[in-house]
Amino acid sequence: MELKISLLSFNSGRSISKLAHFASFLVCFLLFFSFKSIEAFDALDPNGNITIKWDIMQWTPDGYVAVVTINNYQQYRHIQSPGWILGWTWAKKEVIWSMVGSQTTEQGDCSKFKGSIPHCCKKNPTVVDLLPGTPYNMQIANCCKGGVLSSWVQDPPNAVSAFQISAGSAGSNNKTVRVPKNFTLKAPGPGYTCGVAKIVKQSRFVSQDGRRTTQALMTWNVTCTYSQFLSQKTPSCCVSLSSFYNDTIVDCPTCSCGCQNNVTQPGSCVEGDSPYLASVVNGPGKSSLVPLVQCTSHMCPVRIHWHVKLNYKEYWRAKITITNFNYRMNYSQWNLVVQHPNFDNITQIFSFDYKSLTPYGGINDTAMLWGMKYYNDLLMEAGPAGNVQSELLFRKDASTFTFQKGWAFPRRIYFNGDICVMPAPDAYPWLPNTGPLSFRPVLLRLLVFWTTLACLFIYV
């Protein structure tokens, strides 16, 4: 009897051990397959994404005509030049007969067709937007912006792009059409992860006079989310700090975005006063997207400097300067996202536009800043004109305001949606030691005493 009980206990222990191992394996399995979605989550814009909507508007003898719309629902992240690049894999043997408002980068092998030749025969086409100035007969609404998409907050009308596609060998009704697979969005670079295309309720369209409503024959959506880890391996910006109460200027951390290494990587940076600068910038590879930066200790294309400028009785003032060290890039429609606890009492901002972001409900500590249109919304390439600046006026809250322990400096800064490297907290400019100030009344009294005594001796 005792032997049976011990065996039962032993078997129970082995079962529990197996269950524990299985549970551990299951957790690791789930974490592995959910890793991409975790790293793509943006805490400051949790609902931000780019949605690709595919509306079939008309059936054709061997396929359909569809309007593809790219909506940028991200609050502060935009797509700059050279623009978006959209790709997918056809589910069957589809071809693209024609396109309006965009084009594929390659035609592919269309040798089996006689007579009319398709626009593209590739199994996995790559589509780009047409450039501004495209003839009107090749345009549709919201096309031809060179692939540039504004962020949803900065310029909502320009946060959408669209094109028309005529697909063949695709099926000509809802039961025979197959949804494309493996959608990719590069903007520029592999920064976005796209989900599976899902068939949704047909889109509805209202006429301009509002008296008639039509709907698509079939609609599917694809959602793409941004990941800085996929977009670039190294940071693209850094932050430096200074204040009126301390002569110390805290520069960006050394090697924030890379290190100077012209021995193993010749031409990785260029001195600002180099006589060969013009030939390097205008020479071969000038159109490359790889930054060509001015030689600095941080080697970042962009630096944001925060200066605590003035202190008033009820207000305090800070200055922001954005400097472009990249000789190959003009940053159009740039923006900053800054976290600071005093943004709940922002009073005035000079020469920048502003919108409060509240990703954490009622906590108002995040601000989006960007340049005014046709004034400073273009951050010029490195050089004398390669900077923009503004000042911010904050009202003091007696219960929270202090200059101690770096409170007046931002907690985090993003440039064009990418987080910037901050200095180490122990390097922040500190308030001067106020200890000696307590001895000033005593010194003043001693000075008055000795002066009076000297005057008495002179008088005598």
What pLDDT digit, counting tens, does each position of 312-366 carry?
A: 999 999 999 999 999 988 999 999 999 999 999 999 999 999 999 987 777 889 9
Q: Tokens 């005598």: give the residue.
A: 460
Backbone torsions φ then ψ of 231, nearest 5 degrees: -65, -45
Q: Tokens 């011990």: give the residue.
A: 6
Asked: is 234-258+291-427 a CATH 2.60.40.290 domain? The reply is yes
Residue 252 contacts residue 423 (beta carbons within 8 Å): yes
Map residue 74 onto helix, strand or coil. Answer: coil
CA distance 369 to 75: 12
Least confident of 152-161, 343-352, 368-377, 441-450: 441-450
The CA-atom distances, in angstroms, between 99 and each of 111, 139, 181 are: 20, 10, 20
Residue 251 neighbours by CB under 8 Å, 6+ apart: 240, 297, 298, 423
CA distance 432 to 221: 58
Note the Cα 440 to chain centre separation in Å.
51
Single out the residue of 65, 83, 248 nearest to residue 167, CA to CA: 65
CA distance 27 to 445: 73
pLDDT at 260: 83
Task: Give the helix/strand (H/E) hosting 459.
Answer: helix 440-459
Residue 302 contacts residue 325 (beta carbons within 8 Å): yes
Least confident of 36-45, 77-86, 146-155, 321-330: 36-45
Record the pTM.
0.81
Q: Which residues pair with 360 in a beta bridge?
A: 363
Residue 124 neighbours by CB under 8 Å, 6+ apart: 87, 88, 89, 90, 182
CA distance 441 to 444: 5
What strands, in cross-sheet order, belong to the sheet with 85-89? 102-104, 126-129, 85-89, 181-186
Q: Tokens standing for 274?
A: 């180099």
CATH 2.60.40.290 in the chain, residues?
Answer: 49-230, 234-258+291-427
Average pLDDT over residues 53-67: 97
Q: pLDDT tens across 95-113, in order?
A: 999 999 999 999 999 999 9
CA distance 214 to 203: 9
Residues of the chain with pLDDT > 90: what percent?
A: 65
Single out the residue of 263, 300, 283 nearest to residue 386, CA to CA: 300
CATH architecture of 49-230: Sandwich (2.60)
Return mean pLDDT, the chain.
85
Residue 170 contacts residue 92 (beta carbons within 8 Å): yes
Q: Which amino acid is at 136?
A: Y
Average pLDDT over residues 206-230: 91
Q: pLDDT tens across 386-397, in order?
A: 999 999 999 999
Single out the residue of 330, 408, 411 nearest to residue 371, CA to CA: 330
The CA-atom distances, in angstroms, between 310 and each of 64, 386, 395 are: 64, 25, 12
CA distance 226 to 206: 32
Q: Rounded to the nearest 5 degrees, what angle is found at the Cα of 440, between the Cα atoms of 439 and 441?
A: 95
